[in-house]
Amino acid sequence: MSKNRKDAIIIILVTNAILISFIESFFPLPIPIPGVKLGLGNIITMVGIVFLGLKDILLIVVVRSFVVAVLTRGVTMLPFSLSGGILSALIMWVLYKKFSQLFSIKIISIIGAIIHSTAQVMVASMMLGQLIVLYYLPALFITSIVSGFITGRIGELVINEIRNKEIFTAKKIIV
C-alpha cells in the first residue's frame, strides 16, 4: 500500500473514530453506573489492529481521545481516555498479532474493554489518592464484558466487510 493511500485510510479511520465517539457521547446508557458507555469508537481501533501497524493504531487512539475529550468532557478527562485507550490498544494488538488463532475479535474486544476500564479506575485512584474507587471495578468488569462483546461483534462484521471488499489491498479506493 502506498504512503498516500495509507495516510488517507488513517485519516478516514481517525475521522470515523472521532465521529462515532462524539455521537455516542450524546446517548448515555440507561444504567445506574456513571460514565459507562459502549465504546463504539473502539470498533475503529479493532479495524486498525487487524489492518495497520501499532504506530498507526496508537495515532488513531491518541487523536480520537484528545479531540473527543476537548469536544465533550473537557481536557481534565484526557488522562482517563488516554490511559485506557493506549493500554487497551497495546494489549489488543499483542493478542491479535500473537494469539489470533486462540482468541476471536469478540474475545480480544472484551479483554480490551476490561483493560480500558481498569486503567481508567487506576488513574482515578492515583489522581484522587484513594483506593475506594477500586470498588467500582466489579461493576465495570460486568459492563466491560457486555460492551466489549457488542463492539467486538460489530467489529467482526466491519472487518469481514473490509476483507470482502479488499479495501486495504485493492489498487483503487472503493467508495
| Per-residue pLDDT tens over the stretch 83-102 | 999 999 999 999 999 999 99
Residue 77, pLDDT > 90, answer: no
DSSP for 74-126?
Answer: -GGGHHHHHHHHHHHHHHHHHHHHHHTTTS-HHHHHHHHHHHHHHHHHHHHHH
Alpha-carbon distance of 31 to 40, in angstroms, equals 17
pLDDT in tens, 113-123: 999 999 999 99
pLDDT class of 170 with cuts at 50, 70, 90:
low
Long-range contacts of 117-122 (CB under 8 A, 24+ apart): 117/84, 117/141, 117/143, 117/144, 119/83, 119/84, 119/87, 119/88, 120/80, 120/81, 120/83, 120/84, 122/83
For 4, the enclosing helix (H) or strand (E) is: helix 3-24
Give the domain ranges of the chain: 3-165
Q: Which of 63, 78, 70, 67 is nearest to 127 (CA)?
A: 78
What's the CATH number for 3-165?
Answer: 1.10.1760.20
| pTM (predicted TM-score) | 0.90
* Coil/strand/helix, residue 147: helix
Q: Assign 58 a pLDDT band (cuts: 50, 70, 90).
A: very high
